[in-house]
Amino acid sequence: MSALQRMLAAERRRQRGRLLVAGGAAAIAAAASVGLLGLSGWFIAAAALAGTAGAGAAIAFNVLLPSACIRLLAILRTGFRYAERLSGHDAALRALARIRPALFRALAASPPAQAMAMSAGDATARMVQDVNEVEMRFVRGSSIWGAWGAGIAGTCLLLVAGGAATAAVLLVLAGLLAATRLLARRLVADGRAIPRANGLLKQDFAALIAAAPELRAYGLEDWAAERIARQGETLISAQQKVTGSAGQFEWLLAGATGLAAMLTLVAARNAPLPVAALAALGAMMLIEGSAAYVRSLPQRGRLREAEARLDTMLEPVLPAPLAPAQEMKLPPAIEIVELGALLTPGTLAGIVGPSGCGKTTLIESLLRLRDVAPGRIKLGDIDICKLDPAVARRCFAVAAQDAALLAGTVRENLLLAQPDSSEAEIWHALHDAALDDRIRGLPQGLDTWLGDNGARLSGGERRRLVLARAYLRTAPWLLLDEPTEGLDARTEAVVVRRLQARLTMRRQGALLVSHRPAPLSICDRLLTVGVQSTPIRQPGISQVTGDYAVGPNR
């Protein structure tokens, strides 16, 4: 059993009561529908015969009792159909209230290679589109109960017309189910194509929208529109195939309904007309009772593909043996073995090297966002690959090079790092990031809405807001990836000076990735990552070549 199937099974057990209510209500509603139509047919035929028999027969005909039964069956059908919908959707929504957060946690904690391979559009498609398919699985679960309810009620009505009529209609029903299941197997591939095409469309749309300014600058709007159109045509083609096949199911259903009624009338040809009408309409409703189940069969391919895509997010990752958190001495030293560097608490270390040599990878490895080979990095005296990622991350506050901002207010974005931060702490962090005056000048100050990814701020202001967010987190080490990139020299000097003062006052250590001299000038030591064919001639940086090097910042 896959991880998703185990999760769904657990939710079905948890929602068993509501699902049973939905199933029972579906069975009663279906049985009431069969009885309603069958009794209506009998009533109309009997009333017609009474009317043609003369005034005496018409007056003697009891219209009250069948009318009352018809009204009762109509009320039962409506009431229990509502109960089915209410209980079924309630169970589905309660289950999804647990499934969606679990899927999001799995996505957030997925192995780095898997997470980096998934685009934002693909992740959105899985969390919305695929989960909706799972929701429909819960909602459609009562359809089989309805089919049984209709089958039992329809069989009871057919028995009034005799065993031959009953056998004939049940044979038609068996043939319908066999034919539709066989056809459904052929549609699995077409059904699977829809979630894939939909995911690719959302993936391309998200990527092209994010690159809209560049596309306009290079005059590529038409190219982008054509690419989206091609993906849309692929999705439409897949949908048309499934829709066309669904039409075949409707033809089969309609044909089986008509055939059942005709066979019943033939078998009941010697019975009184009201009885024949009751049985024929009961036969039609018996077949119709299986319609919800039959119509769900073309969707099986989409459901299986959605479950397969979601299951990849839940694949278990066997963790390395974890070291207990209490064994770590805080604040911990950082040992980067392949650089021969032991960074004691409070050290400000600069990380330099050519682009693409692995500086950001080192930062992400410390945060356990990437897999780390044994023996490469130690946090305290513990190999970081054996340390619970949550424990390792509590040692760091990070300002990533490409850190994103939420579509929210300034305050909401800052409190992500430390939700219990006071107003004074927030303004202190903004001051140290040289952003306090800018935020005070916004219309609502800290409560100003920033838009998608901080759209109201400039690139440099967004970077400083991310830096202020890192300042708020209580952690012994700061990890700063190009914290002054995009800043003018004057603002950079202020940020660097305040950073140095903050680290000194708080006795906090930091690893700082940068290509700029100003932030590197305040570092206690430099770690040079990667191969340099030519020594770098910059003041304050050790002149070292080779795979890696460590040197003091003199």
Give per-residue pLDDT as tens, 313-372: 776 544 444 445 445 677 889 999 888 889 999 999 999 988 888 888 888 889 888 878
CA 490 to chain centre: 44
CA distance to 112, 452, 478, 517, 527, per residue, from 350 (Å): 25, 32, 12, 10, 6
Q: Read out DSSP for 210-243?
A: HTHHHHHHTT-HHHHHHHHHHHHHHHHHHHHHHH
Task: State the angle between helix axes of 489-506 and 459-472 in degrees (0 to 180), rounded to the nearest 10.
Answer: 0
| 425 close to 472: Cβ distance less than 8 angstroms | yes
Give the closest residue to 32 by CA, choosing from 69, 85, 67: 69
pLDDT score of 295 more than 70: yes
Per the model's pLDDT, the better-predicted residue between 457 and 125 turns out to be 457
- Secondary structure of residue 110 in the 3-state scheme: coil
Query: What H or E segment, with its residue span, contains residue 378?
Result: strand 377-379
**549 falls in which pLDDT band (50, 70, 90)?**
very low
As a whole number, the mean pLDDT across the chain is 82
**55 falls in which pLDDT band (50, 70, 90)?**
confident
- Dihedral (CA of 486, 489, 495, 499) sign: positive
**550 falls in which pLDDT band (50, 70, 90)?**
very low
Among the ranges given (184-193, 377-386, 528-537), the one the predictor scored with the smallest mean pLDDT:
528-537
**543 falls in which pLDDT band (50, 70, 90)?**
very low
Query: What is the chain's alpha carbon radius of gyration, rounded to the nearest angstrom?
Result: 35
Among the ranges given (172-176, 194-198, 422-426), the one the predictor scored with the smallest mean pLDDT:
194-198
Among the ranges given (5-9, 42-46, 73-77, 259-263), the one the predictor scored with the smallest mean pLDDT:
5-9
Average pLDDT value for residue range 300-307? 72
Cα distance between residue 137 and residue 534, in whole Å: 63
Give the closest residue to 336 by CA, choosing from 373, 380, 392, 377: 377
Average pLDDT value for residue range 25-53? 86
Half-sphere exposure of 271 (CA within 13 A, CB side): 24
pLDDT of residue 547: 39
β-strands 377-379, 334-336 pairing: antiparallel
Q: Is the peptide bond before 331 cis (omega within 30 degrees of 0)?
A: yes
pLDDT of residue 315: 62
| 363 close to 384: Cβ distance less than 8 angstroms | no
In the structure encoding, which two tokens stand for residue 490, read together? Answer: 């004057």
For the stretch 455-473, pLDDT in tens is: 888 888 999 999 999 999 9
Cα distance between residue 369 and residue 388, in whole Å: 12
What is the percent of the chain with per-residue pLDDT over 90, rounded to a whole number? 27
For the stretch 387-400, pLDDT in tens is: 888 888 889 999 98
pLDDT of residue 115: 59
Give the closest residue to 67 by CA, choosing from 46, 40, 31: 40
Task: State the angle between helix axes of 163-210 and 300-313 in degrees (0 to 180), rounded to the nearest 10.
Answer: 50
pLDDT of residue 355: 83
pLDDT of residue 551: 42
Average pLDDT value for residue range 287-305? 77
pLDDT of residue 545: 33
- Secondary structure of residue 533 in the 3-state scheme: coil
Average pLDDT value for residue range 30-52? 86
Query: What H or E segment, with its residue span, contains residue 429?
Result: helix 423-432
What is the percent of the chain with per-residue pLDDT over 70, rounded to a whole number? 88
Per the model's pLDDT, the better-predicted residue between 156 and 535 turns out to be 156
Cα distance between residue 260 and residue 112, in whole Å: 58
pLDDT of residue 534: 32
pLDDT of residue 308: 76
Cα distance between residue 109 and residue 131, in whole Å: 18
Three-class DSSP labels, 48-71? HHHHHCCHHHHHHCCCHHHHHHHH
In the structure encoding, which two tokens stand for residue 321, read together? Answer: 């043996």
**492 falls in which pLDDT band (50, 70, 90)?**
very high
For the stretch 78-114, pLDDT in tens is: 999 999 889 988 888 888 888 888 877 777 666 655 6
Position 427: which residue type?
W
pLDDT of residue 52: 83
Domains within the chain, CATH numbers bracketed = 3-313 (1.20.1560.10), 325-552 (3.40.50.300)
pLDDT score of 293 more than 60: yes
pLDDT of residue 553: 42
